[in-house]
Amino acid sequence: MKREDPPVILDSKHLGLLLESLKKSGYLTVGPTVRDGAIVIDEIDKVTQLPVGLTDTQEGGTYRLQSRKDAAFFAYNVGPHSWKKFLFPPEQRLWTLKKNGTKFQFVDIADNTTRYAFIGVRACELQAMSIQDRVFQNGHFQDSHYMNVRKNIFVVAVNCTQAGGTCFCTSMGTGPEADTGYDLALTEVITGSLHYFVVRSQSRNGAKVLEALPHKPATAAQLKTANEMIAQAEHEMGRSLKTHNLKTLLYENYEHPHWEAVASRCLTCANCTMVCPTCFCSTVEDVTDLTGENAERWRKWDSCFSQEFSYVHGGSVRVSAKSRYRQWLTHKLGTWVEQFGTSGCVGCGRCITWCPVGIDITEEVRRVTNGK
């Protein structure tokens, strides 16, 4: 249930207490940390594992970490990972089946009971989660694997106070401020020697965790500073996208020559679909063990960029790279709306940053719709 308590101030030196408190309550704390030159999401035990004093520069096909002059915990934008890797893992066993005489028995339905605390979820990512909710739990059929994990998460959101070079959440109406779908939301403020978080709680769980931490009421001045910093991010968006009438424009432009032009650059490597926090396509693999008595089914992330994806006996439906890029983009921004009542893009910019050749969804849309 959504509730909103008056915002409070948590001193930055107490951030560690938040992690400890969540761990004590039985949560596995996962959050941003540096690995191989990028900020990824992984298990974290202490605040020192956060990317302290680091920021990132992002552009089409470019991602670089840089140091900052301060000791900010969350002064960067989203990296190559997203939270979907916990809710909808890249590889997941759906079930195990055992031959028992002539009977067959499901022995393991792989119910993951891990309770995750997500630390540092951005506004666009909250929206991405709500979009995947529509796919996996709000439709006619529910995915119990997804729901088992989803129902137990504790979400610590972080409002963006700076935007990246490939960000366009304001265009998509998803950020930079978290408005719903979190337990706690932090805005990190650093001014002079002061370093604190403005914290809002939006759930009973959030309020309970917050209560046990040293905090004091936020002053009007502190709130104003935090809001100004968020507004700053809004003005820094590196990209923008016109969404007005976009679905119709895309439907009208299935045959636009620009699809061919993108296809000549696209490597169909599927990077964009792997980093995208809303892409939900998957395939299954059925395996047996050496005895032939036990079988399993695994679900793995798949991508509409592969030719096999659309294979039917006699050949694939989408043979050309052009048709596959068109499928991806038109799905994200057009058909998704019909399917789930929302755009499939939250404007996080990952697909732009992580495309090896810098293909840019915002730019390709402009071309395909002739700038309309």
Ligand X SMILES: Cc1cc2nc3c(=O)[nH]c(=O)nc-3n(C[C@H](O)[C@H](O)[C@H](O)COP(=O)(O)OP(=O)(O)OC[C@H]3O[C@@H](n4cnc5c(N)ncnc54)[C@H](O)[C@@H]3O)c2cc1C
Q: How far is the CB of 313 from ligand X (least distance, A)?
A: 4
Q: How many CB atoms lie within 10 A of CB 85?
A: 16
The answer to whether 317 contacts ligand X (rule: CB under 6 A) is: no
Given ligand X, another protein, ligand SF4, none, residue 272, with its beta carbon under 5 to 8 Å by kind, binds ligand SF4
Residue (255 or 308) nearer to ligand X, CB: 308
The interface with another protein within residues 165-194 (CB under 8 A) comprises none
- Complex with ligand SF4: residue 96 or 130, whichever CB lies closer: 130
- Does residue 361 bind ligand SF4 (CB under 6 A)? yes
Helices (H), the chain: 15-24, 84-87, 123-136, 144-150, 169-172, 204-211, 220-235, 246-252, 258-265, 271-275, 321-330, 336-340, 350-353, 361-368
Residue 345 contact among ligand X, ligand SF4, another protein, none, beta carbon within 5 to 8 Å by kind: ligand SF4
How far apart CA 273 and CA 324 sit, in angstroms, is 12
Q: Verify binding: residue 268, ligand SF4, rule CB under 6 A.
A: yes
Size of the site for ligand SF4 (CB under 6 A): 25
Yes or no: say if 256 and 203 are a contact pair by the CB < 8 Å rule: no
Query: At which residue do the structure tokens 């989408």 appear?
Result: 318
Nearer to another protein, 145 or 200 (CB): 145
Q: Which CB sits closer to another protein, 48 or 102?
A: 102
313 counts as binding ligand X under rule CB under 6 A = yes
Closest Cα partner for 351 from 249, 282, 278?
A: 278
> Cα–chain-centroid distance for residue 198?
23
Q: Does 126 bind ligand SF4 (CB under 6 A)?
A: no
CA dihedral 180, 186, 189, 195 (to 10 degrees): 170
Question: Whole-angstrom Cα distance, residue 235 to residue 248?
Answer: 28
Q: Is 39 in the site for ligand SF4 (CB under 6 A)?
A: no
Count CB atoms within 10 A of the CB of residue 86. Answer: 18
* Residue 294, both tokens: 């036990």
What CA–CA distance (Å, rounded) separates 266 from 126? 29
What does 264 bind: ligand SF4, another protein, ligand X, none (CB cut-off 5 to 8 Å by kind)?
Answer: none
Residues between 93 and 122 with contacts to another protein, criterion CB under 8 A: 94-95, 97, 99, 102-104, 106, 109
Per partner kind, with CB cut-offs from 5 to 8 A, the member of another protein, ligand SF4, ligand X, none near residue 292 is another protein
- Minimum distance from residue 329 beta carbon to ligand X (Å): 24
Does position 305 bind ligand SF4 by CB under 6 A? Answer: yes
Report whether 178 contacts 123 (CB < 8 A). yes
Is 311 a binding residue for ligand X by CB under 6 A? The answer is yes
- Contact status, residue 310 vs residue 318, Cβ threshold 8 Å: yes
Rule CB under 6 A: say whether 272 interacts with ligand SF4: yes
* Binders of another protein in range 220-239 (CB under 8 A): none
Q: Extract the tokens encoding 229.
A: 């910093």
Q: Measured from the CB atom, is 296 or 363 closer to ligand X?
A: 296
244 near ligand X, judged by CB under 6 A: no
Phi and psi (nearest 5°) for 103?
Answer: -90, 160
The two most distant CA atoms of the chain are separated, in Å, by 74
State how far the Cα of 335 lies from the Cα of 27, in Å rounded to an integer. 37
User: Rule CB under 6 A: is residue 312 a binding residue for ligand X?
Assistant: yes
Name beta bridge partners: 196. Answer: 11, 189
Q: Give the residues lining the site for another protein (CB under 8 A).
A: 94-95, 97, 99, 102-104, 106, 109, 135-136, 139-145, 254-255, 280-284, 286-288, 292, 295, 302, 304, 309-313, 317-320, 322-323, 327, 331, 334-335, 338-339
Q: Give the residues lining the site for ligand SF4 (CB under 6 A).
A: 266-272, 275-278, 305, 332, 345-351, 355-357, 359, 361
Q: Give the residues lining the site for ligand X (CB under 6 A).
A: 311-313
